[in-house]
Structure 1
Amino acid sequence: GKVIKTQNLAALLHVIARRPKGQQLAWDFVRENWTHLLKKFDLGSFDIRMIISGTTAHFSSKDKLQEVCDFLLLTISK
């Protein structure tokens, strides 16, 4: 990337998502930039798995679980 090194992105998103105020921010970033992320990382790659798990690991409601599942099912089926 231009500002953040590609190899640091997953770790950075994970650090942001660990903070209560950063959870939604990190997840919104992933959803809004999903197409761009898939141009940098292969679907199913270690980096994509770390980005998804790092930005969603601290979600604790059934609504958030459903939101993540819906997003992944919709985007992966394209």
Structure 2
Amino acid sequence: MHTSIEISTDYITLGQFVKLCNILESGGMVKAFLQEQGVLVNGEMEHRRGRKLYHHDVVEIEGAGSFIVEKKD
């Protein structure tokens, strides 16, 4: 099961999303984490923190879980 993370905009960048999930404390930590480890976005490895995530995109972060982007109406 995925943990829902709600956004109020059309999209969110991967770096902002990881920070919003409260997994890492700072933007610098997010940047280093994505460069070194990366995450799975819709089943594909991603290292770019600027990657845009949209409604229903699934982000899997090793050791933290699986998250789905939900847009607030």
TM norm structure 2: 0.24
The structure whose Rg is larger is: 1
- Indicate the structure with greater strand content: 2
Higher-RCO chain (CA-CA 8 Å, sequence separation at least 6): 2
